[in-house]
Chain A
Amino acid sequence: QVQLQESGPGLVKPSQTLSLTCTVSGGSISSGGYYWSWIRQHPGKGLEWIGYIYYSGSTYYNPSLKSRVTISVDTSKNQFSLKLSSVTAADTAVYYCARDLRGWLGPWGQGTLVTVSS
């Protein structure tokens, strides 16, 4: 079965770029049929969709974050990545990656907490 695992720094300084990678196992990103999404959850709060990518590289982003977000894919490594620039404390959250089949999300990675602090 497909499993996803996020990785990346847990601490990022304000104004810098947050970079995370999601590694997919048990299935190939390039097999098609699925999108690959990033979602975040602020501490003790609800869920916010960040955006998704298809294996071909086409992307869609949440307009509220679009100016700062880049999602990319590396099919040779079966990974997709998130970059969020100019971060502030408001970007402190648990970041999840998930498989996306036409809008519904599953499975999800376990999540990784990213704290923005100097």
Chain B
Amino acid sequence: EIVMTQSPATLSVSPGERATLSCRASQSVSSNLAWYQQKPGQAPRLLIYGASTRATGIPARFSGSGSGTEFTLTISSLQSEDFAVYYCQQYNNWPPLYTFGQGTKLEIK
């Protein structure tokens, strides 16, 4: 099983500033990585797939980068609605065994 490790566990950032979230895979997942945003009491929402492709309707301030084992989600200028928990997920296995990181909580500084 591919283990996904996210850092930091909690990130405190002021509105308007940039946030950088990291995700590391225990082995290469190529670009088969997605990012999700989850707000309290809500389901996760797809932000990024293919490591860097924004999903439909996702603002341009969200960007993803990386390949292999190291990935980054960047939010360029934090808005109030961006404070949430973010998960990365790999989907590189065949047969499929999707695994998620443990999440990064992005909180207001």
| Interface residues, chain A, with chain B CB atoms under 8 Å away | 37, 46-49, 52, 60, 62-63, 96, 98, 101-111
Contact = CB atoms under 8 A, between A and B. Distances in A.
| Majority-rule SS of B interface residues | loop
28 contacts: A46-B87, A46-B101, A46-B102, A46-B103, A47-B89, A47-B100, A48-B100, A49-B100, A52-B96, A60-B96, A63-B97, A96-B44, A98-B43, A103-B32, A103-B34, A103-B91, A103-B92, A104-B34, A104-B49, A104-B55, A104-B89, A104-B91, A105-B34, A105-B44, A106-B46, A106-B55, A108-B45, A111-B43
B20 interface: no
A64 to B, nearest CB: 8
Contact of A49 (B32, B55, B98, B103): B98
Interface of B: 32, 34, 36, 42-46, 49-50, 55, 87, 89, 91-92, 95-103
A101 to B, nearest CB: 8
B44 A108 contact: yes
Given A46-B103, A47-B44, A108-B43, A103 B98 contact: yes
